[in-house]
Amino acid sequence: MKKKAYNVAIAGATGVVGGEFIKILEERGFPVKELTLLASERSAGSSLPFKGKELPVKLLEKETFEGVDIGLFSPGASVSAIYAPVAAKAGCVVIDNTSQFRMDPEIPLVVPEVNPGDIGKYKKRNIIANPNCSTIQMVVALKPIHDKYKIKRIVVSTYQSVSGAGREAMDELSDQVRALYNMRTYEQKVFPHRIAFNCLPQIDSFLDNGYTKEEIKMVNETRKIFGDDSIRVTATTVRVPVFVSHSEAVNVETEKPVDPEDVKALLTKAPGVKVVDDIKKGLYPMPVDAAETDPVYVGRIRRDESIENGLNMWIVSDNLRKGAALNAVQIAELLIRDYL
Ligand code: NAP
Ligand code: 3JN
């Protein structure tokens, strides 16, 4: 018989993604029987609010997952590598926000608006991977275009907010801004250079081919989610001094001739997308408007006049919500609707 409510655990509950998990479960009325909040020894013993009550934060341990139906994980890749398989073995379906399992061929990588049918593949390992935030917002916007016009190539440049690098990174930006305004020396711990009033064309570490890991995540994950290895993707990922919401300038080349007005109409009807595109009124998506909201916003939709079948657009979304916690909770909603 179908359960009415589920035992849910959040691993990494005290982080910026974890905080969004808690908020979104409550906002969307997810049927939670018992919520277990987990973190490291640094935060164990503290508490966080859920549905008007203070819940204790417990230590993430291997024994934690007995009787837990769904695990929402964002404790970092090396921690997920240890605890996600343990939880999965105890019968908990893990939805993991880290990069640890995304490219594992036995584990589905899911964006509900794009490849919901892949969720069923969780049964082999009891783990579902949530893509990188920059990939999620891009594929949500490109899916209707790919379905109708067949995308051959994607060229993307990102403008990623500091919250993508966690709580300490957000603190580093605000501390540096205050220090610079007060003519004090600033500290630099999270980012490789000053982030205040600056842009860093480096997210994560560099690989031998000159790309960063973040850029290669976008390439590989996009192909896996679309189930199409023929799509060529190239990315430049840049950190900007914005607190929340990632922006992306995206150029696509399609097989069939593409009409920007039709793309606007397609995207207007697309699930999870909101078109904000009225240049006469000066309207286009911006991170300050996207923060703390759910949609993937698309604007500046226009023909790429330098090639035969090309399109340019600007895509913005809250990286902590659709880019991380919301996407995972949407996966959980489909999981309980169709499988648990
Ligand atoms: P954060 O704000 O730094 O939070 C990290 C969380 O992980 C905290 O709750 C921390 O607990 C917990 N943690 C760290 N080490 C742990 C351990 N050994 N055992 C148990 N808990 C541990 O980072 P965040 O931004 O929330 O991101 C966390 C992870 O989520 C990232 O490393 C990344 O893998 C993933 N992420 C994914 C996306 C995406 O695009 N899907 C976006 C952002 C992040 P304490 O309070 O005890 O330190
Ligand atoms: O920097 C961003 O804007 C997104 C970062 C995501 C991230 C940060 C640390 C570790 C990830 C990720 O989701 O790919 C990871 C990781 O899990 O490897």
| Mean pLDDT in consecutive groups of 10 residues from the start of the chain, 340 residues | 94 98 98 98 98 98 95 98 98 98 98 98 98 98 98 98 97 98 94 98 98 98 97 98 98 98 98 98 98 98 98 98 98 98
Task: Name the closest-CA residue to atom 10, ligand 2.
Answer: 76
Measured from the CB, is residue 19 less than 6 Å from ligand 1? no
Task: Name the closest-CA residue to atom 31, ligand 1.
Answer: 76
Write the DSSP string, 228-285: -TT-EEEEEEEE-S-SS-EEEEEEEEESS---HHHHHHHHHHSTTEEE--BGGGTB--
Q: Is 305 helix (H, G, I), strand (E, B) or coil?
A: coil
Report the catalytic residues.
133, 246
Q: What is the pLDDT of residue 189?
A: 96
Q: What is the pLDDT of residue 2?
A: 86
Measured from the CB, is residue 74 less than 6 Å from ligand 1? yes
Measured from the CB, is residue 10 less than 6 Å from ligand 1? no
Measured from the CB, is residue 130 less than 6 Å from ligand 1? yes
Secondary-structure breakdown of the chain: helix, strand, coil percentages, each rounded to the nearest 5 = 35, 25, 40
Tokens 């982080």, residue located: 15
Closest listed ligand to the CA of 217? 2
Cα of 55 vs centre of ligand 1, distance in Å, is: 19
Q: What is the pLDDT of residue 1?
A: 79
Q: What is the pLDDT of residue 172?
A: 98
